[in-house]
């Protein structure tokens, strides 16, 4: 790794896809990493872009009746506009239809062909139209075979060009084993190694123009275009000067982190490194495959209509709230659930309650009791005081955020910051500034508020790469300035200028209500007497333990006109329950009756009296009658059901 440099890439996104939460997540994550490294003073470069060639693009353009280039020029705007809306600070946006890219792809192809790394051969086998890849029979979905192919798989016989990928199989296995940081997380590295334990085929890198014309033409055979993946992967180096700007390429490559989704693991950890090896180009430091966002427990899919639109959430809850949720909720490498309920729960808990509440409590006191100025306080808090304890928690967040970003666990870094924020709320509770404000000596109040503002200053800086707009607004409200945070200041207490005037700002994170269940339609008059009852299994019914019980005593509950306290004999066990039957039965009327009760309910305290069970009764309108056993000599404690 080049010292003090950081180059991060996202996959380039296929223009025929509408941007969804997966695209937004990868790009926001890369943005957070880039912002973090810029704050550290590293020479940072952040690349994203779009993949604009291939059969699906050509088919979509034909369907619209426009040339493919016109089609992609229209579709790419969706990504460009979304990244602008989500405050993405990429340094470059590459399109694979740009000359700066197509020229380099052709130069690479010609060089590999001249050196015998690419050869022509006949292909007779299976082709997956959906993924635009050649496959073998073992790649077919379960239940299918060469004699029974799914609709999206065809048998193709044609001449094509192949890259000698199999030549590098043993080298790649050794490289991965010797460089454990190359593929992360660890279990994705093992997945790639498992793939490489089988015979590796050579990679078909062409498509005949008779079947596909929309692509980069092979420089050595104008009857063919380049396979879309061989074209797309090259963007990571064509964008930073490979074969066009040696100084820039030496400055930027190799990339420190290449972020991908787990669904494109093989192309990035098998195709890409073998291509680089054949070119004589260094490997990226880390290829990191994150998990998928699920809708509840299900994979998001256009066919099921459960794909989350990131722009919708940004409009409803704010861009920074969306950024925060995506970073805080997913443990990198694992899948995570995205539902509106989960989103609002974390938003209200972390942002509205913890961070928003701390900010509003502190600033309200400052504006009320400190003439809207940063209060005057002493130097670094003395050891053993609540002030020192809070500052130690804040410093733990500083070190944890740095460590976890380096470890590609930003969710844990964010969690450490939120712990510090919760400790600050506890500190406010301990010092009770509302009480301090009533004392003649206001210096303890000023100390409490200043320490709390210093905690906010540091935490806002730590969360700035995640929520840049909101944290800049917070920094402005507490008098920390309008410039980006200085990381050197995070370990120094007392950076807020005492006496500086503050302006009141709007609340940062207003609470949001959880989504309400859709109202149920009222039954029509024709169906007024039709009742829909949820059916349960027999084992659910037998979870309730019903037994006969004889009423020994009955007295009214003091202060309650509906309740009776019943003393029961349940097979020799005396038990007390509270029953709401006083308007229908006097105590004398129930004594001696053999009733039926539920015996395995959790005890409850009603009007200060413990109740250990519930009796059964039938009711209709204002009428109620106890469910009893008519046999006079029937024993109590008998099982019912």
Q: Which of 397, 376, 379 is nearest to 388 (CA)?
A: 379
Instruction: Name the one residue in this structure whose structure tokens are 């010609």.
Output: 110
> What would the pLDDT profile of 360-412 be if each residue is shown by its tens digit?
999 999 999 999 999 988 777 888 999 999 999 999 999 999 999 999 999 99
Predicted TM-score (pTM) of this structure: 0.76
> 534: burial class by Cβ within 10 Å (0-12, 13-18, 19+)?
exposed
Q: If pLDDT is split at 50, 70 and 90, which confidence band does 255 have?
A: very high
Distance CA 453, CA 361 (A): 11
Determine how many CB atoms are found less than 10 A away from the CB of residue 109: 26
Domain-wise residue ranges, the chain: 339-532, 538-640
Q: Is the pLDDT of residue 557 over 50?
A: yes
List the beta bridge partners of residue 221. 218
**What pLDDT does 553 receive?**
77
As a three-state string, the secondary structure of 258-290 is EEEEHHHHHHHHHHHHHHHHHHCCCCCCEEEEE
Main-chain phi, psi angles of 495, to 5 degrees: -80, -20
What is the arrangement of strands in the sheet containing 203-204, beginning at the earlier edge strand?
133-135, 118-128, 153-163, 203-204
> What would the pLDDT profile of 344-361 be if each residue is shown by its tens digit?
999 999 999 999 999 999
Percentage of the residues of the chain whose pLDDT score is greater than 70: 91
Q: In this structure, which topology does domain 339-532 adopt according to CATH? A: Isoleucyl-tRNA Synthetase; Domain 1 (1.10.730)
**What pLDDT does 1 receive?**
43
Q: Is the pLDDT of residue 136 over 80?
A: no
Q: Which residue has the higher pLDDT, 564 or 272?
A: 272
H helices of 407-545, in order, are: 410-431, 433-436, 443-463, 468-477, 538-541
H helices of 161-234, in order, are: 169-178, 186-196, 228-233
**What pLDDT does 567 receive?**
84
- In 3-state terms the chain splits into helix, strand, coil percentages (rounded to 5) of 40, 20, 40
> What would the pLDDT profile of 205-230 be if each residue is shown by its tens digit?
999 999 899 999 999 999 999 998 99
> Mean pLDDT across the stretch 544-570?
82
Tokens describing residue 25 = 């997540």
Class for domain 538-640, per CATH?
Answer: mainly beta
Q: Which residue has the higher pLDDT, 569 or 81?
A: 81
> What would the pLDDT profile of 430-479 be if each residue is shown by its tens digit?
999 999 999 999 999 999 999 999 999 999 999 999 999 999 999 999 99
Distance CA 337, CA 356 (A): 24
Checking DSSP bridges between strand 153-163 and strand 203-204, what pairing results, if any?
A: antiparallel
Show the CA angle centred on residue 137, arms to residues 135 and 139, nearest 5°: 60
Q: Which of 505, 482, 525, 182 is nearest to 363 (CA)?
A: 505
Tokens describing residue 327 = 């970073």
């Amino acid at each position: 790794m080049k010292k003090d440099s950081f180059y991060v890439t996202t996959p380039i996104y296929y223009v025929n896809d509408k941007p969804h939460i997966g695209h937004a997540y990868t790009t926001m994550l890369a943005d957070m990493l880039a912002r973090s490294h810029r704050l550290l003073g590293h020479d940072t470069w952040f690349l994203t872009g779009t993949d604009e060639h291939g059969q699906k693009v050509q088919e979509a353009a034909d369907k619209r009746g426009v040339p493919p280039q016109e089609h992609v020029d229209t579709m790419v705007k969706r990504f460009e506009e979304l990244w602008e809306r989500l405050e993405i600070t990429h340094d470059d946006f590459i399109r694979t239809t740009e000359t700066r890219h197509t020229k380099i792809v052709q130069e690479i192809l010609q060089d590999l062909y001249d050196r015998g790394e690419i050869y022509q051969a006949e292909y007779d086998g299976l082709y997956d139209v959906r993924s635009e890849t050649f496959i073998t029979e073992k790649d077919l979905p379960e239940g299918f075979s060469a004699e029974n192919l799914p609709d999206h798989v065809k048998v193709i016989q044609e001449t094509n060009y192949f890259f000698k990928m199999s030549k590098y199989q043993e080298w790649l296995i050794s490289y991965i084993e010797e460089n454990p940081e190359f593929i992360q997380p660890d279990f994705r590295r093992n997945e790639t190694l498992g793939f490489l334990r089988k015979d590796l085929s050579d990679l078909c890198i062409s498509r005949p123009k008779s079947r596909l014309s929309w692509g980069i033409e092979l420089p050595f055979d104008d009857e063919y275009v380049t396979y879309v993946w061989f074209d797309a992967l090259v963007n990571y180096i064509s964008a930073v000067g490979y074969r066009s700007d040696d100084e820039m390429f030496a400055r930027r490559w190799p990339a420190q982190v290449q972020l991908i989704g787990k669904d494109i693991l093989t192309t990035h950890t098998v195709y890409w490194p073998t291509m680089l090896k054949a070119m004589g180009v260094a490997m990226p430091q880390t290829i990191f495959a994150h998990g998928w966002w699920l809708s509840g427990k299900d994979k998001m899919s256009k066919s099921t209509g459960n794909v989350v639109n990131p722009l919708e959430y940004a409009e409803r809850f704010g861009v920074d709230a969306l950024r925060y949720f995506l970073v805080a909720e997913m443990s990198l490498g694992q899948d995570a659930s995205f539902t509106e309920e989960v989103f609002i729960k974390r938003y209200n808990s972390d942002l509205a309650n913890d961070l928003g509440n701390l900010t509003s409590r502190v600033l309200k006191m400052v504006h009320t009791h400190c003439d809207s100025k940063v209060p005057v306080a002493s130097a670094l808090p003395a050891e053993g005081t609540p002030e020192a304890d809070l500052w130690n928690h804040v410093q733990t967040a500083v070190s944890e955020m740095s460590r976890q970003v380096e470890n590609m666990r930003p969710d844990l870094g964010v969690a450490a910051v939120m712990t510090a924020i919760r400790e600050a709320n506890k500190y406010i509770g301990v010092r009770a500034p509302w009480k301090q404000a009533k004392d003649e000596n206001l210096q303890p109040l000023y100390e409490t508020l200043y320490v709390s503002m210093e905690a906010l200053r540091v935490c806002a800086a730590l969360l700035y790469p995640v929520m840049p707009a909101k944290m800049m607004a917070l920094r402005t409200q507490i008098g920390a300035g309008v410039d980006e945070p200085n990381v050197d200041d995070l370990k120094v207490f007392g950076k807020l200028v005492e006496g500086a005037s503050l302006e009141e700002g709007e609340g940062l994170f207003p609470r949001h209500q959880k989504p309400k269940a859709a109202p149920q339609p009222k039954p029509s008059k024709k169906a007024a007497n039709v009742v829909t009852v949820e059916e349960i299994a027999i084992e659910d019914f037998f979870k309730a333990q019903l037994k006969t019980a004889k009423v020994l005593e009955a007295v009214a509950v003091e202060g309650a006109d509906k309740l009776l306290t019943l003393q029961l004999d349940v097979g020799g066990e005396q038990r007390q329950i509270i029953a709401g039957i006083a308007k229908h039965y006097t105590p004398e009327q129930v004594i001696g009756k053999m009733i039926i009760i539920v015996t395995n309910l959790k005890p409850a305290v009603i009007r200060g009296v413990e109740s250990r069970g519930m009796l059964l009764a039938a009711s209709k309108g204002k009428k109620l009658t106890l469910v009893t056993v008519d046999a006079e000599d029937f024993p109590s404690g008998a099982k019912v059901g």
